[in-house]
Structure 1
Amino acid sequence: MGILNALFGGNNSNEKLVSIVKEGAFLVDVRSPGEFAGGNVKGSVNIPLDQLQNQLSKFKDKKNIIVFCRSGNRSSQAKSILERNGFNNVTNGGTWQNINTIVTK
């Protein structure tokens, strides 16, 4: 396993992500609106990292949450913010392209 995967949450196999996506996970892209407009995952919502703290109500009652971004760095931060606020069902999906590959299978 690479150091970047270990640091940014990519250490979960795609099999786990596939399973969570199939269960109807709440897909959250934490990139900027401009990045999101340039390409995004079907069915995902855009909640930029800098707005996450003010949007916590959108995460309530979600069985599983997958956060992702361009590289996995911001999604790692988003996962930490959500966990500090009591959400223990959060998975760092890494890059939006990775999640997009899973969703479009």
Structure 2
Amino acid sequence: MKQEAVVHSYPLLGSSLAKLKIVNLSQSQKLVDELLKACSLEQIDLQGCISLKSIPHIDQLKNLQLLNLSGCTLLNRTEIIEEIKRLDPEGGLRETKSESMVFSTLVKLEH
């Protein structure tokens, strides 16, 4: 039986996260929901979060420049791409390499 990622909430963190720019939660088994609410986030590394089924609050991440979802095997790639398109309708945030699940505005795209 697979374990699901448990999302915890820490309400006291909310105001102190306003300026947070980079979050590395790679290989995490549990995600802190409040961390992904930090609207100033520019880089999120969730590589290898094998229990991750969705990305909470992705619609609030207007400053996102890098999102690493490689190795997140439970995520639906098509759904993530649709979320990215809604978040960034101008198309600046793109997958860096075909089917890599790494989205960036900073990296030269490879085909």
Q: Normalising to structure 1: TM-score of the pair?
A: 0.31
Q: Which has the higher helix share?
A: 1
Q: Normalising to structure 2: TM-score of the pair?
A: 0.30
Tell me which of the two structures has the higher relative contact order, counting C-alpha pairs closer than 8 angstroms and 6 or more residues apart: 1
Higher Cα Rg: structure 1 or 2? 2
